[in-house]
A = this chain, B = another copy of it.
């Protein structure tokens, strides 16, 4: 994390005169940061950066993706008591929010694994200003981050197709994309999936299809010899109740916005030692 980013977050929580933190004497103390729930850990890099920013000494052997049990320690830190109080809430907010995402992602991945090698991917439905961290938490949970923003790959979506027609939209995308970008085309029918694959789409995103429709579409693409040339993605209305059904359809990628926006925080806490 860049120093300017760290300070952007610190400024939000500290304000101009954090009397609460400076109430305590400026002595050396140690503290542990630990989880109170089982979880998959995420947010280690930003947590590390924030603790270091406050000149705290850090001990840890955890890293993103570790499976922790309730009670497990993430960090031991020591240094100025004032600095520990200043870092506390921000570090916990990172770890709690991001481990929540990693844990939910991992639950979805666990559901999919028995049936498929399909990747579980997130979307651009992220908290504004916090996407980078949320996508890295998806990776920590075993998921795929999907594209980061509108510039790093090209998706032809329903609103494009409504305005331009499917063929014209793909043609335009192909002529404008860099050779380093994959082109992802969102379709709502098996026939459109075939058109997109034939026209050279790299990824076919089956939008809001039920598992049966997905199976038909995958079948049709296979029948036409197109399946091996494209990555097949499903998206729309997928959650814990039906993700296994989609896992069985043979698709390559299952995209789920709720990895991020329906995750709950993990309970993470900091406890200061009695002595220095």
Contact = CB atoms under 8 A, between A and B. Distances in A.
B13 A149 contact: yes
Interface in A155-198: 155-157, 159-160, 162-164, 169, 172-173, 176-182, 184
Nearest to A27: B163
Count of identical protomers in the assembly: 6
A173 to B, nearest CB: 6
Interface in A12-35: 12-25, 27, 29
Interface stretch (A67-75, A107-115, A125-133, A211-219): A125-133
A271 to B, nearest CB: 8
Nearest to A261: B265
A264 B261 CA distance: 6
Contacts of A223: none
Interface in A115-154: 119, 121, 124-133, 135-136, 139, 144-154
Grouping DSSP codes into helix (H, G, I), strand (E, B) and loop, the A interface class, with mixed when no group exceeds half, is: mixed
Given A4-B7, A16-B132, A261 B148 contact: no
Contact of A145 (B148, B178, B264): B178
Interface in A72-102: 81, 85-86, 88-90, 92-94, 96-97, 100
10 contacts: A2-B10, A2-B11, A13-B124, A16-B135, A17-B139, A24-B159, A93-B125, A100-B261, A163-B272, A181-B182
